[in-house]
Structure 1
């Protein structure tokens, strides 16, 4: 993977032996031939395998992930949106992530990123679910990782927001205006009375 300024530009898919661009626009500006890189990657893998065999290395402990689920855009009932499951700060980069709607497995409309490097030699990853929000549906992002004793469910459902109607806004504004005018009138009367008393 190659990144610039913290953003992934491309990576090489070793199974398909091709370059995968983060945005297609990058491929018009930059060029990277995955075929030329393959011999170097094979050499690096062989060197790594030899180093592992020659040295007694204890296994690094697993770091459990932090999971958060949130919508891409502000939620409007009946309007298509995308749920994002952000899995962060975990090691090793091995995960099993599934989406659940009302406790049932969802397979359509899902996508994911590759494992992305994070701080302190950990990783993070995004999983996406395209959905149409309704008041009845609840969604869970189920994450399984070696660092977790049991799968972690991160829950999301439509939050009922209390929206103030225009009539209520107008009434509050009018009430504020009336209270202000009454205050000015009473204040003026009290000041005039105080000035007239000997």
Structure 2
């Protein structure tokens, strides 16, 4: 097999919501041989991953891929990186992911649901009152 350098992508597992746990995923693909080293940083400081054991998985073409995970809580301005070292690379390959202002959302789901429920409830009471009064007028 010919030696192949890795392709790397970094992305969050779910929607980025400020203050809620999430996971960054570093997907490293199409590399050979299967020996690889992965490091994570937060704001340029190395951080340990919960499961540092790297399990490479073979691809049908004879190359390998691996997923590395970093649990985090999004905070505006934080910068995370996944750095890969492999014998085919002259220097380590780093991918950066930044918590951007427009990317961080607050979880407004319950408030929106409550607001819609209240609005429909009030509309129902208003419609019911209208028909009650109208019915009483025609009954007299």
- Both proteins in one fold, TM over 0.5: yes
Matched position secondary structure for 1:139: strand
Residues 1:73 and 2:7 aligned together? no
Q: Is the 8 A contact 1:67 1:86 kept in 2?
A: yes
Q: Is the 8 A contact 2:10 2:97 kept in 1?
A: yes
Cα deviation for residue 147 of structure 1 reads 1.0
User: Of 105, 109, 113, which residue of structure 1 is paired with 2:46?
Assistant: 105
d(CA) in 2 for partners of 1:77, 1:110: 24
Q: Is the 8 A contact 1:112 1:128 kept in 2?
A: no
Q: Is the 8 A contact 2:49 2:69 kept in 1?
A: no
User: Of 81, 85, 90, which residue of structure 2 is paired with 1:144?
Assistant: 85
Cα deviation for residue 119 of structure 1 reads 3.0
* Cα distance change of structure 1 residues 111 and 84 upon mapping to structure 2, 3 Å threshold: farther
d(CA) in 1 for partners of 2:50, 2:12: 14
Residues 1:155 and 2:96 aligned together? yes
Count of aligned pairs between the two proteins = 105
d(CA) in 1 for partners of 2:71, 2:53: 12
Cα deviation for residue 159 of structure 1 reads 2.9
Cα deviation for residue 160 of structure 1 reads 3.0
CA RMSD of aligned residues (A): 2.0
Q: Is the 8 A contact 1:89 1:119 kept in 2?
A: no
* Cα distance change of structure 1 residues 128 and 111 upon mapping to structure 2, 3 Å threshold: farther
Answer 1 or 2: higher relative contact order, Cα 8 Å, separation at least 6: 2
TM-score (norm 1): 0.49
User: Of 2, 25, 36, which residue of structure 2 is paired with 1:84?
Assistant: 25
d(CA) in 1 for partners of 2:17, 2:50: 19
d(CA) in 1 for partners of 2:49, 2:62: 32
Counterpart mapping for 1:1-198 below 5 A: 60-111=1-52, 114-161=55-102
- Structure 2: gaps spanning 5 or more residues: 106-140
Report runs of 4+ in structure 1 exceeding 6 Å deviation: none
TM-score (norm 2): 0.68
